């Protein structure tokens, strides 16, 4: 038995094929609720599935948008993917998620971009730059987002420099003077906003920068836990540890507990990102919160606008992070 077609659904619902396409693609705003319901029930009754390949060949559009993201094995990155997926729901687009590590092969960016209508890239500007250099004629709409973005594209950036400044000033105000930065080796060498903010404010306060480093690409809780334990056993504990992200802060918190060091009485602790788990740690962890909901919503709005009119001026916004003070830095 052959698979049901769009026209089969149309006959069953007593509507035109164009109406079926509009309803099932999410573009049927002007269609009555009764008609929409008949189409949906007909499609379900016939077990109809749209032939996306055929539609792409006919229209030149896939109705697919790619999200390039570092990885999905952290709550922070999973949350971004979840929000982007939620934001696309009212549209006809589906989201194809690709971890940046999967793009390691030469020119792999082309293979992961030629079957999509648009691209959202979280903190992978170098990947976009490389793709644009190899394929300068590409007109693929791109929105870069997060703390690392590309100024030649539409972007929704997040200013972590100011958040880091605020965090160190807060630690200084409550009496911390030996303020150590927990960061992976690679990030500490880059012109990262958090690293730049840390160095800048430490110099302004007349304090020496001090680092606890994990291996090049490792920002895991387990590695952060071990790095903090090793550091404290060698050099004693600092007054405060400010961490590249919340996962490392959670690992650091466990390391300090392992060593019998009290947070915040002996060591204050600050994370970055604002993942929900920081609320459920003991103690709750002070963190620099990124406005992920606003970032993802704006990114989707910018991409849709670019898809509808490629000639519009660049859409660019930088959002502000904020310090949320919790038990891990409350003294007295």
Round to whole Å and give the CA distance between 117 and 140. 7
pLDDT score, position 76: 96
Angle at 262 between CA 243 and CA 326, to 5 degrees: 55
pLDDT score, position 3: 72
pLDDT score, position 40: 81
pLDDT score, position 108: 53
Q: Which position has the token pair 């989201």?
A: 95
pLDDT tens digits, one per residue of 230-268: 999 999 999 999 999 999 999 999 999 999 999 999 999
- CB-based contact 252:264 (threshold 8 Å): no
Residues of the chain with pLDDT under 70: 1-2, 24-29, 48-62, 102-114, 187-191
pLDDT score, position 59: 47
The alpha carbons of the chain give a radius of gyration, in whole angstroms, of 24
Q: Locate all alpha helices (DSSP H) within 14-152, ordered by sequence.
A: 17-24, 33-45, 52-59, 75-87, 108-111, 125-134
Walk me through the domains of the chain, giving residue ranges and CATH numbers: 6-50 (1.10.260.40), 64-158+292-319 (3.40.50.2300), 160-290+324-329 (3.40.50.2300)
pLDDT score, position 91: 84
Please give the helix or strand (H or E) that residue 226 lies within, else none.
helix 221-235
Q: What are the two backbone dihedrals, phi and then psi, of residue 295, each rounded to the nearest 5 degrees?
A: -60, -50
Please give the helix or strand (H or E) that residue 122 lies within, else none.
strand 118-122
Round to whole Å and give the CA distance between 286 and 272. 8
Q: What are the two backbone dihedrals, phi and then psi, of residue 119, each rounded to the nearest 5 degrees?
A: -145, 130
pLDDT score, position 179: 98
pLDDT score, position 54: 47
Is the previous residue joined to 264 through a cis bond, with omega within 30 degrees of 0? yes
pLDDT score, position 172: 98
pLDDT score, position 15: 87
Q: Please report, for residues 4, 27, 39, 44, the alpha-carbon distance to residue 18 in angstroms, rounded to integers and kept in the order given.
A: 16, 11, 11, 18
pLDDT score, position 57: 38
pLDDT score, position 287: 98
pLDDT score, position 114: 58
pLDDT score, position 167: 98
pLDDT score, position 161: 96
pLDDT score, position 113: 57
């Amino acid at each position: 038995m052959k698979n049901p077609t769009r026209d089969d659904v149309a006959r069953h619902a007593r509507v035109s094929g164009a109406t079926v396409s509009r309803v099932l693609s999410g573009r049927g705003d002007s269609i009555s609720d009764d008609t929409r319901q008949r189409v949906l029930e007909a499609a379900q009754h016939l077990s109809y599935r749209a032939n996306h390949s055929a539609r792409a060949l006919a229209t030149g559009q896939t109705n697919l948008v790619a999200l390039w993201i570092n990885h999905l094995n952290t709550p922070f990155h999973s949350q971004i993917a979840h929000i982007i997926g939620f934001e696309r729901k009212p549209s006809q687009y589906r989201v194809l998620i690709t971890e940046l590590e999967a793009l390691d092969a030469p020119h792999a960016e082309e293979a992961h971009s030629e079957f999509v209508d648009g691209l959202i890239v979280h903190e992978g500007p170098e990947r976009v730059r490389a793709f644009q250099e190899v394929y300068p004629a590409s007109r693929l709409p791109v929105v870069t987002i997060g703390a690392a973005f590309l100024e030649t594209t539409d972007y929704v950036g997040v200013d972590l420099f100011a958040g880091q400044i605020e965090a160190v000033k807060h630690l200084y105000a409550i009496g911390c003077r030996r303020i150590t930065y927990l960061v992976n080796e690679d990030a500490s060498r880059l012109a990262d906003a958090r690293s730049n903010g840390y160095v800048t404010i430490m110099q302004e306060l007349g304090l020496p920068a001090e680092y606890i480093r994990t291996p090049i690409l490792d920002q895991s809780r387990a590695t952060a836990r071990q790095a903090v334990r090793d550091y404290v056993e060698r050099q004693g504990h600092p007054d405060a540890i400010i961490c590249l992200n919340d996962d490392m802060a959670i690992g650091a918190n466990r390391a300090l507990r392992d060593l019998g060091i009290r947070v915040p009485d002996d060591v204050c602790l600050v994370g970055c990102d604002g993942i929900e788990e920081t609320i459920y740690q003991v103690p709750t962890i002070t963190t620099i919160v990124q406005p992920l909901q606003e970032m993802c919503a704006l990114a989707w709005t910018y991409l849709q606008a670019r898809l509808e009119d490629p000639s519009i001026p660049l859409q660019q916004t930088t959002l502000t992070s904020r310090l949320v003070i919790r038990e891990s830095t409350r003294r007295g």
